[in-house]
Amino acid sequence: MNISIRQLTAFIKVADSGSFTRASDQMYLTQSAVSGLIKELETSLGIVLFDRTTRQLSLSVVGRHLLPQARRVLNEMQLFENEASSLMSLAQGQVRLAVSQFAASSMPAVIAQFAKKYPDISVSLIDCSAENVLQHIQDIEVDLGVGTELGFMESEDDIRADLLYELPFCVVMPDNHPLAKQSEVIWQDLIDIPLITLQGPFIEQVTAELDETIASHIQQARYKVNFMSTALEMTRQGFGITLCLPYMPEVIDWVSANGLQMRPLAQPVKVRRFFIYQRSSRALSPASIAFKEFLQTYFASHFNDYKGS
């Protein structure tokens, strides 16, 4: 059985108008074309929809029973087309997002800006570890993920990773600290200075490929905390100096407004890369495509501003 929308439309038009001629005018078809559509529908169903005489055309008993069903089918198809049109025009939609720690710090501002441009698209957010970002994507619990390269497994063929941005590791110290007078701070300058660092994978990423002496000094930092806000406040209070990533302009502004100085670390310059993750085998919805493109534009603009400052 192969029933077409045109056949159902012809059925309804003929039933409502009581005439092949009037139905053909409404459908912008010839009378014979409409008659052919009705005949095809009747043949496909194996029933007679209209009782025909030389003077009168009327619905058969079966036709009267099926007419409401035909109307419902066409209404559902219209709703389907309207829904698809709304999604394609970004009039509505949903984006599910998983982000790792540092990305989560900047994401509320991004989502707020996105909502101004696309007010009818909702964005839900899960903040988690870098490793769990990929797990959420693999389980199809989210559409997109944002996290560091620590979350990317080269062996995972079904994960696509697009570089979003990269940031240099920096050191933050009070205005009156001796290092604040230097235009360039190198890793060796940190030796014998009390450090405040984040716990967990952050230290592993910082110390990778560094000289053993400075790596050991960082790993044995006097203070290890869970949140960057804590590390920055302890720096402001004079407990030591801290390592950080300038992951949002707001962080840079907070540093300068609270009597602190930030310097990128050199020799070597080390960066941390952040990616947008998605499943390679799963097509993104129009709403998710719009959000991904917005993310790329947003971070390119903000971090280019940082590099130029």
The percent of residues above 70 in pLDDT, for the chain, comes to 92
Output the CA torsion sign for 86, 92, 97, 102: positive
Residue 273 has a pLDDT of 87
Residues 100 and 241 in one domain: no
Please indicate, yes or no, whether residues 52 and 198 belong to a single structural domain of this protein.
no
For residues 10 and 38, the answer to whether their CB atoms sit within 8 Å is yes
Res 250: pLDDT: 64
238 Ramachandran zone, left/alpha/beta (phi>0; psi -120 to 50)? left
Range scoring the smallest mean pLDDT among 17-21, 116-120, 192-196, 282-286: 282-286
What CATH number has the domain bearing residue 241? Answer: 3.40.190.10
Average pLDDT for residues 245-262, to the nearest whole number?
81
Residues 81, 97 share a domain? no
Cis, peptide link before residue 168, omega less than 30° from 0 = no
Q: Are residues 117 and 194 in the same domain?
A: no
Q: What is the mean pLDDT of residues 127-141?
A: 84
Q: Domain range for residue 243?
A: 170-269
Across 164-168, 204-208, 267-271, 297-301, least confident range: 204-208
Query: What percentage of residues in the chain have a pLDDT greater than 90?
Result: 57
pLDDT at position 75 is 87
Identity at 259, one-letter amino acid code:
G
The token duo for 220 is 């044995």
* pLDDT averaged over every residue in the chain: 87
Q: Give the total number of structural domains in the chain.
A: 3
Is 90 exceeded by the pLDDT of residue 261? yes
Q: How far is it, in rounded angstroms, from Cα 132 to Cα 148?
A: 11
Mean pLDDT computed over 22-46: 94
The amino acid at 22: R
Residue where one domain finishes, among candidates 88, 117, 132: 88
Q: How far apart are CA 177 and CA 35, in angstroms?
A: 91
* Amino acid 308: pLDDT: 42
Residue for token pair 């009818």: 120
Whole-number CA gyration radius for the chain: 32
Q: What would the pLDDT profile of 66-124 be if each residue is shown by its tens digit?
A: 999 999 999 888 878 877 776 776 767 889 999 987 677 778 889 999 999 999 899 99
149 and 287 both lie in a single domain: yes
Model confidence at 14: pLDDT above 70: yes
* pLDDT computed for residue 248 by the predictor: 62
Q: Are residues 293 and 145 in the same domain?
A: yes
12-48 as b/e, with b when 16 or more CB fall inside 10 Å?
bbbbeeeebeebbebbebeeeebbebbebbbeeeeee
pLDDT at position 85 is 74
pLDDT band at 155 (very low <50, low <70, confident <90, very high): very low
Task: Name every residue whose Cβ is closer than 8 Å to that of residue 160 and which is 6 or more positions away in sequence.
Answer: 277, 278, 279, 280
Does one domain contain both 240 and 115? no
Of residues 125 and 201, more confidently modeled: 125
Q: What is the DSSP string of 184-249?
A: -EEGGGGTTS-EEEE-THHHHHHHTTS-HHHHHHHHT-SEEES-HHHHHHHHHTTS-EEEE---SH
**Which is more confidently placed, 282 or 178?**
178
Annotate 115-159 with DSSP letters as a single string: HHH-TTEEEEEEE--HHHHHHHHHTTS-SEEEEEGGG--TT-TTE
- Nearest partner of 286 among 88, 8, 94, judged by Cα: 88
Whether this model's pTM surpasses 0.75: no
Check residues 144 and 246 and name the one with the higher pLDDT: 144
Q: What is the pLDDT of residue 234?
A: 96
Same domain, 183 and 37: no
- Burial of residue 185 (CB within 10 Å: 0-12, 13-18, 19+) is buried
DSSP secondary structure letter of residue 54:
S
